[in-house]
Amino acid sequence: MDLPEFRTWVFLYLISSVALLWAAFLSAQGVMLWMSMILVLVVVGANFLVVLSELKRCAAQQEMMKRLSAIEMEVEEK
């Protein structure tokens, strides 16, 4: 993971932390419990989707690197 990706992850998790803290505040006050539950579900769901897409992107990148390495090995053998 290079530095620009790291900054994106920090920003995502800072926003997520603020949203979860806000949901905890709403729950502790006893008002808008439905809103705090929806907020928690949205944050957890969004983080799950972002991590899943990142894993797929990394897998695709590794597969591409393997294919490029195989092509390079074939060229060197000739």
Q: Is the pTM of this model over 0.85?
A: no
Nearest Cα to 1, choosing from 44, 61, 65? Answer: 61
Q: How far is CA 59 from CA 13, 21, 37, in A?
A: 22, 33, 33
| pLDDT digits 0-9 by tens, 8-58 | 788 888 999 999 999 999 888 888 888 889 999 999 999 899 888 888 888
Confidence of residue 73 (pLDDT cuts 50, 70, 90): confident
